[in-house]
Amino acid sequence: MNKAQEILNEFDELDEVSDEEKAARKAERADAVKFAKELKNKLEKSWGVKLRSSVVAQAVNPWIQLRVAKFGEDEIPNDFRLAMVKAQGGSPSDPDNVSYGNVRSNMVSAQFSEWKELMKKGVVK
């Protein structure tokens, strides 16, 4: 069984959640896993950097994290990091080397819904 299926099966163990809510959460998690893979592939091509993606387990609106595969060698382009922070309403202290919250040179992380919003705003192309 793969990791994604293990995460999806976690919800079967939750007795206090209705069957309908379990099904909705599983569907959202499956959508997030698929989206994370597509996002990773898209940004790898755009940036020329090998990435790893993961979906962080959470009851509602999972987090998607992208990190560089070669820590210390590769980094996420600063122009993307700056645009991402600004789109989320932040103001980094050093716009020439953004490291702010969940946005760092080696990792970026946001909730599934935030990634979709970043695509709508044109931050992720």
12-34 pLDDT, tens digit each: 555 566 788 778 778 888 888 89
Residue 115, token pair as written in the block: 């990634």
Residue 41, both tokens: 């592939």
> Residue 7 pLDDT > 80, yes or no?
no
Q: Cα 13 vs. chain centroid, distance in angstroms?
A: 25
pLDDT (tens digit per residue) in 51-79: 999 998 666 788 999 999 998 899 999 99
Please state, rounded to an integer, the average pLDDT across all residues of the chain: 85
Is 0.85 topped by the overall pTM?
no
Instruction: Give the three-class secondary structure for 56.
Output: strand
